[in-house]
């Protein structure tokens, strides 16, 4: 969480920092601040709340500085107040620091620095960093240890070596106005290379309108940015040789392109995302119909699969489990990464562990995978590195951690609520389950061909489904804008869609919503139902269709208004449900790719009607990089 940005060059830094922070606001928006250096002083301006508050404050400030750092915060240590907002400064107000992550040993450091006379002005863990840097500037080590002659760089390096935790940092000092130092230790940080200007940022959208040449820092690396260029070092101070790469991202992709919100734009991008996945995962070669580029060892003697994930990715994993078990016959467990860390299931030989994370940066998922990696190395496994990541960001920390990646090709997702990346994760699971089934011969070639052909029809069915919903859902959103509780039910492969529908509604509209397996309602939750609690049921023809319809009737008998996500032109459903959200009639196995769409739109339109900030819901951040 938290977004950091830095600039050094020939243009006015303030606007560049602010526009960079705008693109990083998805990472946190409790407060924001920037620090620039001008005429030998640090000018630090901070504001509680969203970035527009900082922008208004800065309107009154003259801004000719050509170097600066900025931060948008998701509060961890200390309330979201201005005094806790970054940048933080040392006692003499010469050093300014922004940080994303957590400094685990900040209490000891703070104690020690206080005893040395440093004055703390915030409750944050970050504030120890500027004081530590100031201390090393005042008392440098007797011999210069780094291959860099800058005293500022050396003081920062000494300070960083005292820190424990996961962090990305950018810092500047009024006494060294031509240097910006950026550090990465288990929190993302990219360096951007322009013409006589250089950038650092937590994520590429912050700098893509200035340059597409970027270098992703690795853990344990520091960059020294000056107007002349960028030098990269490790924490021991050795200079490293690194080359930037060209980003496959255009400034257009980070704009709303006529949509009112990113969430809506991203929902409408889903047909294109599925097309990209189809292109990447499936071939026309009958001898190798699926192309995931996984080594053959991944499939050998596989006895069990465990999937670790959080939030929406966990819901996608539940559908993955259904597909893998039903198509390939491999027992599969899905665990919340945050729970698994402290109570892992016994690890058996020949287990494939899969981490699912859109951002590739979710702290709980990464920590659970790191633990699995370690547990594996302690066992004599036939094939050690059987760790697979499913992610939208192959260049993320996840990418460094696992031996193989499936890229979900979701494209950049800016809305905090995951929509198109959920569908992309589903596509990755269809490909994986079919690949496992094909190689283990648990599916006939005809059935495989059938499913792949049906998947190829899905993009146009999503388009048709989107078109069908437009007016229907806006009307429902009007009716439900004041509703306080919602229940979502589904069964089988559509039970996780009920969970996802409820999560989307909670996240963006702040309405209390629960997802249940439809058959469980009568075991307790049915007591919640009355005329004020609408029930959304997902009822697609297949294994459990009649069962879901009966469960829906049970809810109707308790006066709930019933909304059905059902196949188009379904007479039976029309008689039961008060309102219909029709989707194309596809095989039950593929139906989740369609049934989630009306639920995404329902959540979006209710939130929009309630006048809420759909793309940046309260208390949330897109990538949760703290435990």
- Which amino acids are annotated catalytic? 2, 622
One of 208, 310, 432, 433 touching ligand AGP (CB under 6 A): 310
| Minimum separation from the CB atom of position 606 to ligand AGP (A) | 15
Encoded one letter per residue, x for contact with ligand AGP by CB under 6 A and - for no contact, window 568-607 reads ----------------------------------------
Query: CB of 531 within 8 A of CB of 559?
Result: yes
As given in the structure block, the two tokens for residue 426 are 């589903």
> Does 414 engage in binding with ligand AGP (CB under 6 A)?
no
Task: CB nearer to ligand AGP: give 150 or 357.
Answer: 357
> Does 202 engage in binding with ligand AGP (CB under 6 A)?
no
Residue 516's DSSP bridge partners are 489
Task: CB nearer to ligand AGP: give 84 or 396.
Answer: 396
Determine phi and psi for 403, rounding to 5 degrees.
-85, -25
Residue 183's DSSP bridge partners are 169, 222
One of 100, 124, 335, 623 touching ligand AGP (CB under 6 A): 623
Alpha-carbon distances of 558 from 526, 538, 554, rounded to whole Å:
8, 18, 7
> Does 507 engage in binding with ligand AGP (CB under 6 A)?
yes
* HSE-up (13 A, CA, CB side) for residue 305: 27
Residue 613: alpha-carbon gap to chain centroid: 18
> Does 365 engage in binding with ligand AGP (CB under 6 A)?
yes
| Minimum separation from the CB atom of position 24 to ligand AGP (A) | 15
> Does 186 engage in binding with ligand AGP (CB under 6 A)?
no
Q: Which range in 151-159, 415-423, 553-561, 590-598 contacts ligand AGP by CB under 6 A? A: 415-423
Residue with tokens 């769409």: 597
> Does 313 engage in binding with ligand AGP (CB under 6 A)?
yes
Q: Which range in 200-208, 228-236, 358-366, 594-602 contacts ligand AGP by CB under 6 A? A: 358-366
| Minimum separation from the CB atom of position 510 to ligand AGP (A) | 14
Alpha-carbon distances of 184 from 214, 232, 340, 381, 613, rounded to whole Å:
15, 11, 27, 33, 31
| Minimum separation from the CB atom of position 506 to ligand AGP (A) | 10
> Does 352 engage in binding with ligand AGP (CB under 6 A)?
no
> Does 366 engage in binding with ligand AGP (CB under 6 A)?
no
> Does 338 engage in binding with ligand AGP (CB under 6 A)?
no
> Does 624 engage in binding with ligand AGP (CB under 6 A)?
yes
| Minimum separation from the CB atom of position 211 to ligand AGP (A) | 26
One of 31, 357, 397, 509 touching ligand AGP (CB under 6 A): 357
> Does 312 engage in binding with ligand AGP (CB under 6 A)?
yes
Task: CB nearer to ligand AGP: give 418 or 493.
Answer: 418
Query: CB of 515 within 8 A of CB of 595?
Result: no
β-bridge pairing 387-391 and 404-407: parallel
One of 335, 362, 551, 560 touching ligand AGP (CB under 6 A): 362
One of 45, 65, 189, 418 touching ligand AGP (CB under 6 A): 418
Residue with tokens 């409820």: 502
Grouping H, G, I as helix, E, B as strand and the rest as coil, residue 411 is coil
Task: CB nearer to ligand AGP: give 220 or 399.
Answer: 399
Residue in 457, 440, 479, 443 with CA at minimum distance from that of residue 602: 479
Q: For helices 311-323 and 420-439, what crossing angle results, to 10°?
A: 30
Determine phi and psi for 126, rounding to 5 degrees.
-65, -30
Query: CB of 561 within 8 A of CB of 534?
Result: yes
| Minimum separation from the CB atom of position 357 to ligand AGP (A) | 3
Task: CB nearer to ligand AGP: give 30 or 127.
Answer: 30
Query: CB of 44 within 8 A of CB of 83?
Result: no
Residue 608's DSSP bridge partners are none
Q: 93: how many CB neighbours lie within 10 A of its CB?
A: 14
Residue 494 class from Cβ within 10 Å (0-12 exposed, 13-18 middle, 19+ buried)?
Answer: buried
Task: CB nearer to ligand AGP: give 211 or 625.
Answer: 625
How many residues touch ligand AGP under the rule CB under 6 A: the total is 16
> Does 311 engage in binding with ligand AGP (CB under 6 A)?
yes
One of 102, 408, 417, 608 touching ligand AGP (CB under 6 A): 417
| Minimum separation from the CB atom of position 261 to ligand AGP (A) | 14
> Does 359 engage in binding with ligand AGP (CB under 6 A)?
yes
Residue in 552, 534, 419 with CA at minimum distance from that of residue 491: 552
> What radius of gyration, in Å, describes the C-alpha atoms of the chain?
26
State the Cα–Cα distance between residues 323 and 430, nearest whole angstrom.
7
Query: CB of 564 within 8 A of CB of 581?
Result: yes
Point out which residues bind ligand AGP (CB under 6 A): 310-313, 357-359, 362, 365, 416-418, 507, 620, 623-624
């Amino acid at each position: 969480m938290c977004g950091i940005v830095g600039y050094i060059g020939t243009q006015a830094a303030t606007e560049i920092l602010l526009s960079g922070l705008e693109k990083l606001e998805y990472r946190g928006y409790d407060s924001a601040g920037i620090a620039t250096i001008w005429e030998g002083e640090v000018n630090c301006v901070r504001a509680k709340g969203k970035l527009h508050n900082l922008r208004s404050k800065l309107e009154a400030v003259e801004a000719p500085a050509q170097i600066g750092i900025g931060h948008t915060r998701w509060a961890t240590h200390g309330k979201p107040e201005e005094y806790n907002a970054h940048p933080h400064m040392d006692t003499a107000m010469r050093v300014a620091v922004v940080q994303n992550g957590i400094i685990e040993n900040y209490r000891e450091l703070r104690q020690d620095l206080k005893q040395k006379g440093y004055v703390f002005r915030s409750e944050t863990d970050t504030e120890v960093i500027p004081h530590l840097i100031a201390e090393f500037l005042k008392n440098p080590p007797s011999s210069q240890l780094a291959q860099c002659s800058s005293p500022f760089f050396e003081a920062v390096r000494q300070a960083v070596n005292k820190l424990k935790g996961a962090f990305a940092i950018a810092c500047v000092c009024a006494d060294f106005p031509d240097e910006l130092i950026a550090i990465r230790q288990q929190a993302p940080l990219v360096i951007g290379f322009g013409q006589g200007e250089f950038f650092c940022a937590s994520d590429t959208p912050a700098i893509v309108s200035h340059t597409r040449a970027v270098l992703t820092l690795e853990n344990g690396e520091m960059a020294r940015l000056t107007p002349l260029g960028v030098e990269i070092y490790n924490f021991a101070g050795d200079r490293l040789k690194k080359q930037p790469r060209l980003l496959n991202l255009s400034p257009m992709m980070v704009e709303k392109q006529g949509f009112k919100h990113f969430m809506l734009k991203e929902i409408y991008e889903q047909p294109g995302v599925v097309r990209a996945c189809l292109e990447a995962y499936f071939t026309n070669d009958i001898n190798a119909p699926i192309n995931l580029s996984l080594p053959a060892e991944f499939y050998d003697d596989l006895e069990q699969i465990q999937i670790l994930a959080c939030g929406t990715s966990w819901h996608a994993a539940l559908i993955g489990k259904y597909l893998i078990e039903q198509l390939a016959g491999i027992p599969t467990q899905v665990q919340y990464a945050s729970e698994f860390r402290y109570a892992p299931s016994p690890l058996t030989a020949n287990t494939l562990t899969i981490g699912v994370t859109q951002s590739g940066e979710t702290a709980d998922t990464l920590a659970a995978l790191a633990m699995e990696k370690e547990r594996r190395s302690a066992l004599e496994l036939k094939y050690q590195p059987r760790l697979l990541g499913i992610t939208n960001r192959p260049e993320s920390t996840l990418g460094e951690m696992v031996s193989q990646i499936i890229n979900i090709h979701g494209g950049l997702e800016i809305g905090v609520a995951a929509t198109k990346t959920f569908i992309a994760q589903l596509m990755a699971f269809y490909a994986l389950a079919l690949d496992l089934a094909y190689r283990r011969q648990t599916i006939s070639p005809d059935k495989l061909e059938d499913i792949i052909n049906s998947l190829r029809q899905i993009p146009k069915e999503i388009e048709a489904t989107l078109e069908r919903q437009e007016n229907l859902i806006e009307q429902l959103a009007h009716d439900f804008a004041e509703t306080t509780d919602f229940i979502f039910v589904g069964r089988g492969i559509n039970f996780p869609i009920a969970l996802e529908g409820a999560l989307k509604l909670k996240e963006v509209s702040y309405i209390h919503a629960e997802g249940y397996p439809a058959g469980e309602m009568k075991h307790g939750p049915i007591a919640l139902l009355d005329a004020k609690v609408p029930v959304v049921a997902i009822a697609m023809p297949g294994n459990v269709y009649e069962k879901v319809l009966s469960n829906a009737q049970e809810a109707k008998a308790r006066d709930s208004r019933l909304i059905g996500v059902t196949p188009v032109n379904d007479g039976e459903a029309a008689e039961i449900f008060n309102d219909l959200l029709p989707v194309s009639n596809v095989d039950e196995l593929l139906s989740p790719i369609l049934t989630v769409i009306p639920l995404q739109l329902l959540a979006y339109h209710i939130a929009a009607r309630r006048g809420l900030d759909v793309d940046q819901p309260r208390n949330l951040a897109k990538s949760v990089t703290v435990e």
